[in-house]
Amino acid sequence: MMIAAVNYDNLVQFYHLSVGLDISEKTEAYTMLKDKESGQMLCITNGESVKQTSPGIKVADMQATLRMLEELGGHVIKQWVYASMEGANCKDSEGNEVLIWQTLE
């Protein structure tokens, strides 16, 4: 899942301390938090790319995934890029918002 923060550092600390998620990567643009037992990830963004909470799916090939999404009836609302991460706010074939993202290496 991905959450857009109003107060970035405070929200990162909230999830780190209250739920016990480990900070696995932190940049000025986003922080990846990970549950050490389940491996579940939470991404907190710092900026305008994400306006609300929505399901977020990490993919290995962003462009191939977006092409398939559109072929199957979904559409891309907005694409964005940070220094080490890119993503796209999308709608699925039923109009539900979903976030597709990929880390850049």
What does the pLDDT look like over 36-75, one tens digit per residue?
A: 888 888 888 886 555 555 677 788 899 999 999 899 888 9
Could you tell me which CATH number the domain at 2-103 has? 3.10.180.10
Q: What is the pLDDT of residue 8?
A: 87
**Which pLDDT score, from 0 to 100, does residue 52 have?**
58
pLDDT at 90 over 60: yes
Report pLDDT for 53: 57
Instruction: Round to whole Å and give the CA distance between 56 and 86.
Output: 12
Closest CA to 20 of 36, 38, 2, 39: 36
- Where do the structural domains in the chain lie, given as residue ranges? 2-103
